Structure 1
Amino acid sequence: MKIRVYYEDTDTGGIVYHSNYLNFCERARSQAFFDKGLTPVLDDGHFVAKKIIADYLKSAKLGDILDVKTELIEMKAASFTLKQTVYKEAEKLFELEILLAHISFEGAIKKMDKETKELILSLF
């Protein structure tokens, strides 16, 4: 997913503020659902971040066009792990590994049914 860096994404020096890389990755994950006419909120629950490992390699700057690539690393009964990488052209700027847990609307961890697992496999 392509993302342009706007003034609101940066500090006073025009460098992307560190937490905005997480926002860029969240947008890319949500966009995968939107591209299929869905939202990340499903009939039986939704996904929450349980664990994030982030690696900041180089800075993005005001006006840059970034590309967020997402790859499924692991699928378990009630969670899955993605690797998301932010590039400026061919240069890797940021990488994260995120564990997303499937939870019910009441907040309890919930196993994904077969259809949900197939959806995740088709998205990522």
Structure 2
Amino acid sequence: MKIRVYYEDTDLGGVVYYANYLKFCERARSEIFFKNNLLPVKDGCHFVVTEIKAKYIKPARFADILEVETKVLEIKRVYIKLKQIIYKNSEKIFEMEIKLAFICNDRPSAIPQDFLNLFEKL
């Protein structure tokens, strides 16, 4: 997924604020669902972040065009692990591994089959 860096994404120096890399990755995960005519919420149940490991490699700046790549590392009954990489001009500038648990009524729950099918295609 391509993302343009807007002024609101940057700090006083015109560099992307560190938390916004996480937002860019979140948008990319949402787009995976939207492009498949799904929402990342089902019957009041949804994914929550339970673990994250991020590595900031090089900065992105105002007006840059970034590409977010998402890969599946592991799929289990109630959680998935993903690796997301952000590139600027084909150069890796950020990467993270994230674990997402599927939650219903504040408890881990089985991921719906249509969601599993979606992630298995990545």
Question: Percent identity, aligned pairs only?
Answer: 50
Give the CA deviation at 1:115. 3.7
Secondary structure in 1 matching 2:77: coil
| Counterpart amino acid of residue 40 in structure 1 | P
Q: Which residue of 2 aligns with 1:20?
A: 20
Provide the aligned length of Structure 1 versus Structure 2: 122
Q: Deviations over 1:63-100 (max 9, x none)?
A: 00000000000011100100000000111000000000
Tell me how far apart the structure 2 counterparts of residues 88 and 39 of structure 1 sit (CA, whole Å): 28
- Show the 5 A alignment for 1:1-124: 1-43=1-43, 45-104=45-104, 106-122=105-121, 124=122
- List gaps (5 residues or longer) in structure 2: none
- RMSD, matched Cα: 1.2
**Which structure features the higher share of strand residues?**
2
| Counterpart amino acid of residue 102 in structure 2 | H
Tell me how far apart the structure 2 counterparts of residues 119 and 5 of structure 1 sit (CA, whole Å): 28
Q: Which runs of 4+ in 1 moved over 6 A?
A: none
Secondary structure in 2 matching 1:28: helix
Give the CA deviation at 1:119. 2.8
Provide the TM-score with structure 2 as the length reference: 0.94
Provide the TM-score with structure 1 as the length reference: 0.93
Tell me how far apart the structure 1 counterparts of residues 5 and 61 of structure 2 sit (CA, whole Å): 7
Tell me how far apart the structure 2 counterparts of residues 113 and 40 of structure 1 sit (CA, whole Å): 11
- List gaps (5 residues or longer) in structure 1: none
Question: Structure 1 residues 113, 23: CA separation in 2 closer, same or farther (over 3 Å shift)?
Answer: closer
Give the CA deviation at 1:121. 1.4
